[in-house]
Structure 1
Amino acid sequence: MSGHAQEPSSVPEDDLAPTETTGYKVGQQKTLEELARLDAEDDSLARWKASLGINPAASASTSGSGPNVEILSLSLTAPSRPQPIVFDLTDPAKVKSLKSSPVVIKEGVDYSVELKFKVNHGLVSGLKYLQVVRRMGANLDKLEEMIGSYGPSPEPVVKKLVAEESPSGMIARSGSYTVRSRVIDDDKHVHCDFEWVFKLAKEW
């Protein structure tokens, strides 16, 4: 799933604004072939480009299809849960249903968001995950974490983010929580933007 949310969101757009990288300016994007040739004699730069999968031979033949960054799934993982809760983000109908089908999260446990994505045919710089949790119209929590920079690869990337602790207590268990999740890069391209809902319970 890519692009902006299609329906009005219960989480204001301003709440999803990422922190600006100091000194970073959005510039003209270069092709992988241009990047591969850039400062070819610089060993440290060559190692960095190699870590992103950029090299002259590969970049010339890279011809992935679809969106540059394809977010395949978001999962909730926890040591206290045998299997993760997986959101399939490749099916628009399933993504839309997340707003009306709350998932259950056990109160007072550590859990992590795990993203699975593919970079198809270009370099993506400064990929970042943003998440805002709201309840009864008020923001309760905001998570912002850097995912990294990646070059194209046929294999999906799986990135587990920092663990957070779910709220606990009788009041916390009443009602539901709305979460808006977004994946954005340094060039302000939104690669994924959707909402999901959870409820807290004494057990998973």
Structure 2
Amino acid sequence: MSGNPEEDDLKPTATPGYKPSVAKTAEEYAQLDANDESLNRWKASLGLNADGSQGVASGPKLSVLTLELDSPTLPAGKKLIFDLSDNGKLADLKKNPITIKEGIEYNVRITFKVNHSIVSGVRYIQVVKRSGIKVDKLEQMLGSYGPHPKNEPYIKNFDPEESPSGMVARTGTYNVTSRVTDDDGEIYANWDWAFKLAKEW
């Protein structure tokens, strides 16, 4: 048994029968099946050159840039975007809950950049608690990525969700811990934020 239940909540769900392969360097991936034309096109789409080079490999393999909550019910001009590159703004997210309208459909959008290497099994995990009790866990598999050939960020839209509704749902603050991790257990982002449900945005 683990001694930290909060860490257990944020562990990825294991897929029966799936075992992540041993991580390979970009050069090893580039040299695999070098004569396979379709595979070479796929590797080129990941930013792998024929020799496996991708530029200088320094810093984290993946940087999470933003997390956005989007809904067709949002008032014109209103955006709920978390800038995850600014530590000062991240600290504010926990202290100042955002307001989400009850009973509406919304979806989460995440923007991230792969800086170097191939990142396998990237996933977003979110645990929601109210009064210290877990009320929801969202786990979204994002996939495996290499650096974008044009050094552009990746944007991933999650499946639509519906916010809770009712008087009980509107009482209290929901505390959320979000994490972006991969098959190797490397954590690329981990932050806390909070929200309240209301009748209107």
Q: TM above 0.5, one fold?
A: yes
Q: CA–CA distance in 1 between the matches of 2:179 and 2:173?
A: 20
User: Cα distance, 1:54 vs. partner?
Assistant: 2.4
RMSD across aligned positions (CA):
2.0
Percent identical residues: 53
- 1:134 matched residue in structure 2: 129
What SS does structure 2 have at the residue aligned with 1:56?
Answer: coil
Q: CA–CA distance in 1 between the matches of 2:58 and 2:93?
A: 27
Greater mean alpha carbon deviation, residues 63-72 or residues 171-180? 63-72
- 2:97 matched residue in structure 1: 102
User: Cα distance, 1:43 vs. partner?
Assistant: 4.2
User: Cα distance, 1:49 vs. partner?
Assistant: 2.4
Contact 2:111 2:154 in 1 (8 A): yes
Question: Which residue of 24, 31, 41 maps to 1:30?
Answer: 24
Contact 1:133 1:142 in 2 (8 A): yes
- Superposed, which structure 2 residues align to 1:180-195 within 5 Å? 180-195=177-192
User: Cα distance, 1:65 vs. partner?
Assistant: 4.3
Structure 1: any 5+ residue segments left out of the alignment?
1-8
Contact 1:52 1:149 in 2 (8 A): no
Q: CA–CA distance in 2 between the matches of 1:22 and 1:127?
A: 17
Q: CA–CA distance in 1 between the matches of 2:21 and 2:168?
A: 48
User: Cα distance, 1:32 vs. partner?
Assistant: 1.1
User: Cα distance, 1:113 vs. partner?
Assistant: 1.2
User: Cα distance, 1:195 vs. partner?
Assistant: 0.9
Q: CA–CA distance in 2 between the matches of 1:85 and 1:75?
A: 6
Q: Deviations over 1:38-61 (max 9, x none)?
A: 11123453344234232315x425
User: Cα distance, 1:28 vs. partner?
Assistant: 4.0
Cα distance 1:179–1:48, how it changes in 2: closer, same or farther (>3 A)? same
Are 2:175 and 1:178 equivalent residues in the alignment? yes
For these two proteins, the number of residue pairs brought into alignment is: 194
Q: Deviations over 1:157-201 (max 9, x none)?
A: 111111111111111111110111111111111111111100011
Q: CA–CA distance in 2 between the matches of 1:128 and 1:163?
A: 17
Q: CA–CA distance in 2 between the matches of 1:172 and 1:21?
A: 32
Contact 1:122 1:152 in 2 (8 A): yes
Question: Which residue of 109, 112, 119 maps to 2:114?
Answer: 119
With CA pairs under 8 Å and 6+ residues apart, which has the higher RCO, 1 or 2? 1
- Superposed, which structure 2 residues align to 1:1-204 within 5 Å? 12-56=6-50, 59-63=52-56, 65-81=58-74, 82=76, 83-153=78-148, 154-204=151-201
What SS does structure 2 have at the residue aligned with 1:60?
Answer: coil
Contact 1:110 1:166 in 2 (8 A): yes
Q: CA–CA distance in 2 between the matches of 1:166 and 1:42?
A: 47
